[in-house]
């Protein structure tokens, strides 16, 4: 009897600590809490299941391309392949911060500690060549992307310690840490065809058509000019709820133009079916052409519910000139946003704050509470009181373009950092001038950079503005060979592993990340780690706000502006109204062809 009792106690003890899976595999999963859509939902809330099928959707892009592979560092990949040709195990509902539902996989089963998770692949799922999607393809995809793909794939997929193929349609993943987001990251991994890549160099930049399992296939490519996708008539997933009301066009064509003016003229002539406008001056002054006046072109404003894109001039702290935070702060004060908004942006822009501007995640106006202070640890001591209590704000100029008070503050901060006024401008104790180059890639960026250059010249800072083409700019981004560049960080309401790619110390040396400013701060690394391990929403938000405060206090960029989403579309293109869109705003995959 004693032996039996001992066995029972051991069983209870083991059960308490064993990673128990959910009672049943789930069709949906949320980063925090439960997914909003019940099993058996009809369609995504922002899609129109009754949308007609057929027609052509043409888009005008600026730039060029020399590759069809969007997963590698080499080459400049054509737009569209990841979205239209490839699929993942699960698909996202854009109306939720981060919830996924079964796509190639019919279910996911996650252990309580998140260290083990299993996907069951749909038996009907197949690639466009008719071959079934199997567990072997999933395993091949992770290994290939991890070892030969872009750095973000290596960063994420290296966390998988083991993969087990249970059967042809079942695969189990293991991780050492309980990264709460990793099951969702793997669920969003693009799935490649193992058979289609046999004998091919995955890392080579190529214009060869690539096989995927998505609703479209490559149809025609004119190098550097256009890429066309055709609907797969035998697409396996056309009846899934995730796909109702999306992928409505028979043909998608992306035409490339040398500059923004050419792309705009193409839209005005009807050679492009819609245009997302980013220039407030153009929006306020140039959308009065005949087709817009007679209603043939509809003009609409969409407001995203996500954090505003973090757009600004990024300091490359790998350069000695920008190592001192006082220099970066001073140069940030010198940008006269009020003048720029009135004279360059038709007064339509809004100044951003931090990296989660305008959302519930921002640290602006929020005092750092106990949970957040615990995440910050000793780093809290280096933050100013106004940074900790959420009252810090960016300076507001008098709009003159030469605000003396702000320029004096700039000079005083630079003096404290060792830069003194001389006959040849600001110099350090070695007589070296305070000089750097802003590298840009288009006219819109050039206008802003030239305004900034003029202001800095008033206090003796020598700035060169250098414009390069898209290919050269991408190469500079990859190798970090620049002083300052315009950069944009897109954050969501559910930031996670991508934060390491944006701000992790790893990216200061590793090429190809999006850590454009060269951040290497253990406190930021720690905040990201807490973010990934958070067990509930409160802990998660504390980590995100701690990260935001640390980034703001580091003055890694000159924060610029955010705009609403302005869209012009020809009336032949149907769309749900602005109030029925995902959190990110205007969604192109739900458009449809209305006819002439």
Taking CA atoms, 555 is separated from 138, 162, 214, 353, 380, in Å, by 41, 40, 42, 11, 16
Is the Cα dihedral 449, 454, 460, 466 positive or negative? Answer: positive
Taking alpha carbons only, the member of 444, 419, 469, 164 closest to residue 278 is 444
Of the chain, the percentage scoring pLDDT greater than 70 comes to 96
pLDDT digits (tens, 9 = 90+) for 500-528: 999 999 999 999 899 999 999 999 999 99
CATH code for the part of the protein at 216-305+564-593: 3.40.190.10
Interstrand relation of 297-302 and 116-121 (parallel, antiparallel or unpaired): unpaired
Q: Write out the two tokens for 385.
A: 């009181």
Taking CA atoms, 476 is separated from 362, 462, 473, 511, 579, in Å, by 30, 21, 5, 10, 39
At 5, is the pLDDT very low, low, confident or very high (cuts 50, 70, 90)?
very low
- 579 burial via Cβ count (<10 Å: 0-12, 13-18, 19+): exposed
pLDDT digits (tens, 9 = 90+) for 76-96: 999 999 999 999 999 999 999
C-alpha to C-alpha distance for 94 and 547, rounded to whole angstroms: 24
At 43, is the pLDDT very low, low, confident or very high (cuts 50, 70, 90)?
very high
Q: For 109, which DSSP code? A: E
Q: For 78, which DSSP code? A: P
At 535, is the pLDDT very low, low, confident or very high (cuts 50, 70, 90)?
confident
Residue length of the chain: 596
Residue 7, pLDDT > 70, answer no
pLDDT at 183: 96
**Mean pLDDT of all residues in 451-471:** 95
pLDDT digits (tens, 9 = 90+) for 208-246: 999 999 999 999 999 999 999 999 999 999 999 999 999
C-alpha to C-alpha distance for 148 and 75, rounded to whole angstroms: 14
Residue 358, pLDDT > 90, answer no
User: Half-sphere exposure of 178 toward its Cβ, with a 13 Å CA cutoff?
Assistant: 10
C-alpha to C-alpha distance for 472 and 470, rounded to whole angstroms: 6
C-alpha to C-alpha distance for 166 and 145, rounded to whole angstroms: 21
Residue 389, pLDDT > 80, answer yes
pLDDT at 15: 36
Interstrand relation of 435-440 and 274-277 (parallel, antiparallel or unpaired): unpaired
User: Any idea which residue has 């490839």 for tokens?
Assistant: 86
User: Any idea which residue has 């990251």 for tokens?
Assistant: 185
Q: Which helix (H) or strand (E) holds 341?
A: helix 337-343
Q: For 590, which DSSP code? A: G
Report yes or no: 334 and 456 within 8 Å, Cβ to Cβ.
Answer: yes
pLDDT at 24: 64
Q: Write out the two tokens for 422.
A: 């001389």
pLDDT at 470: 86
User: Any idea which residue has 């064993």 for tokens?
Assistant: 18
**Mean pLDDT of all residues in 445-452:** 95
Residue 304, pLDDT > 60, answer yes
Rg (CA), the chain: 26
**Mean pLDDT of all residues in 425-454:** 94
Taking alpha carbons only, the member of 592, 589, 580, 594 closest to residue 300 is 580
Of the chain, the percentage scoring pLDDT greater than 90 comes to 83
C-alpha to C-alpha distance for 594 and 53, rounded to whole angstroms: 9
Helix (H, G, I), strand (E, B) or coil at 301: strand
Residue 561, pLDDT > 50, answer yes
Least confident of 149-153, 312-316, 453-457: 149-153
Q: For 377, which DSSP code? A: G
Residue 201, pLDDT > 70, answer yes
At 596, is the pLDDT very low, low, confident or very high (cuts 50, 70, 90)?
low
C-alpha to C-alpha distance for 351 and 393, rounded to whole angstroms: 11
pLDDT digits (tens, 9 = 90+) for 487-503: 999 998 889 889 999 99
Taking alpha carbons only, the member of 334, 335, 331 closest to residue 322 is 331
Residue 9, pLDDT > 60, answer no
Taking CA atoms, 171 is separated from 119, 120, 155, in Å, by 6, 7, 21
Residue 329 burial (CB count, 10 A): 17
Report yes or no: 97 and 583 within 8 Å, Cβ to Cβ.
Answer: yes
Beta bridge partners of 162: 174
At 16, is the pLDDT very low, low, confident or very high (cuts 50, 70, 90)?
very low
pLDDT digits (tens, 9 = 90+) for 392-418: 998 999 999 999 999 999 999 999 999
pLDDT at 377: 97
Residue 21, pLDDT > 80, answer no
Separation of first and last alpha carbons in the chain = 84
Q: Exposure string (b/e) for 554-567, b if CB count within 10 Å is 16 or more?
A: bbbbbbbbbbbbbb
- 131 burial via Cβ count (<10 Å: 0-12, 13-18, 19+): middle
How remote is the C-alpha of 244 from its chain's centroid? Answer: 25
Task: Please give the mean pLDDT across all residues of the chain.
Answer: 92
User: Any idea which residue has 């005092």 for tokens?
Assistant: 367
Q: Write out the two tokens for 181.
A: 């987001």
Report yes or no: 51 and 590 within 8 Å, Cβ to Cβ.
Answer: yes
Query: Any idea which architecture 310-554 has in CATH?
Result: Roll (3.10)
C-alpha to C-alpha distance for 389 and 108, rounded to whole angstroms: 41
C-alpha to C-alpha distance for 303 and 569, rounded to whole angstroms: 17
Beta bridge partners of 116: 174
Residue 12, pLDDT > 50, answer no
Cβ-proximal residues to 463 (8 Å cutoff; 6+ apart), any chain: 435, 436, 437, 438, 452, 453, 456, 457
pLDDT digits (tens, 9 = 90+) for 335-351: 999 999 999 988 888 89
pLDDT at 14: 33
Residue 27, pLDDT > 60, answer yes
Indicate where the chain has its CATH 3.40.190.10 domain(s).
216-305+564-593
Give 205-267 as a 3 state SS string: CCCCCCCCCCCEEEEEEECCCEEEEEECCCCCCCCCHHHCCCCCCCEEEEEEECCHHHHHHHH
Q: What are phi and psi for residue 463, nearest 5 degrees?
A: -125, 130
Indicate where the chain has its CATH 3.10.105.10 domain(s).
310-554
């Amino acid at each position: 009897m004693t032996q039996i009792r001992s066995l029972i106690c051991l069983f209870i003890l083991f059960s308490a600590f064993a990673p128990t899976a959910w009672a049943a595999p789930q069709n949906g999963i949320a980063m925090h809490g439960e997914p909003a859509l019940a099993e058996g939902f009809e369609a995504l809330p922002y899609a129109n299941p009754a949308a007609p099928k057929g027609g052509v959707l043409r888009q005008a892009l600026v730039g060029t391309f020399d590759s069809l592979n969007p997963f590698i560092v080499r080459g400049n990949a054509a737009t569209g392949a990841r979205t239209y040709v490839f699929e993942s195990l699960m698909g996202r509902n854009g109306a939720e911060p981060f919830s996924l539902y079964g796509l190639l996989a019919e279910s996911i089963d996650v252990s309580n500690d998140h260290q083990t998770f299993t996907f069951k692949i749909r038996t009907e799922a197949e690639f466009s060549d008719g071959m079934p999607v199997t567990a072997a393809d999933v395993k091949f995809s992770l290994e290939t992307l991890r070892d030969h793909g872009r750095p973000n794939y290596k960063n994420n997929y290296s966390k998988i310690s083991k993969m087990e193929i249970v059967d042809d349609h079942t695969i189990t993943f293991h991780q050492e840490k309980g990264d709460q987001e990793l099951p969702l990251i793997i669920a969003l991994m693009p799935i490649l065809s193992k058979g289609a890549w046999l004998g091919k160099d995955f890392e080579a930049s190529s214009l060869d058509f690539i096989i995927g399992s998505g609703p479209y296939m490559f149809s025609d490519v004119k190098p550097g000019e256009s890429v066309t996708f055709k609907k797969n008539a035998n697409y396996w997933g056309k009846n899934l709820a995730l796909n109702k009301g999306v992928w409505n066009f028979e043909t998608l064509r992306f035409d490339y133009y040398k500059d923004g003016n050419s792309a705009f003229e193409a839209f005005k002539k009807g050679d492009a079916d819609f245009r997302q406008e980013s220039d407030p001056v153009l929006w306020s002054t140039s959308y009065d052409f005949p087709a817009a006046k007679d209603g043939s072109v509809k003009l609409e404003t969409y407001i995203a519910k996500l954090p505003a894109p973090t757009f600004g001039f990024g300091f490359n702290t790998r350069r000695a000139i920008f190592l001192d935070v006082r220099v970066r702060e001073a140069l940030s004060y010198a940008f006269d946003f009020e003048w720029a908004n009135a004279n360059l942006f038709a007064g339509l822009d809004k100044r951003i704050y931090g990296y989660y501007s305008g959302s519930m995640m921002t640290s602006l106006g929020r005092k750092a509470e106990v949970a957040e202070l615990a995440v910050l640890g000793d780093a809290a001591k280096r933050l100013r009181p106004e940074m900790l209590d959420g009252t810090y704000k960016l300076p507001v100029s008098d709009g003159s373009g030469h605000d003396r008070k702000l320029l004096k503050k700039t000079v005083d901060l630079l003096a404290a950092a060792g830069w003194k006024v001389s006959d040849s401008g600001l110099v350090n104790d070695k007589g070296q001038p305070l000089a750097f180059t802003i590298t840009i890639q288009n006219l819109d960026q050039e206008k802003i950079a030239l305004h900034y250059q003029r202001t800095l010249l008033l206090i003796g800072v020598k700035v060169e503005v250098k414009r390069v083409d898209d290919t050269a700019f991408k190469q500079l981004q990859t190798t970090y060979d620049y002083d300052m560049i315009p950069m944009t960080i897109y954050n969501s309401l559910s930031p996670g592993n991508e934060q390491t790619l944006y701000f992790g110390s790893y990216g200061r040396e590793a090429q190809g990340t999006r850590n454009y400013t060269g951040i290497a701060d253990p406190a930021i690394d720690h905040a990201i780690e807490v973010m990934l391990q958070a067990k509930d929403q409160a802990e998660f938000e504390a980590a995100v706000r701690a990260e935001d405060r640390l980034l703001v206090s580091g003055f890694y960029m000159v924060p610029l502006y955010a705009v609403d989403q302005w869209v012009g579309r020809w009336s032949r293109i149907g769309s749900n109204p602005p109030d029925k869109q995902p959190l990110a705003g205007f969604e192109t995959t739900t458009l449809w062809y209305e006819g002439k």
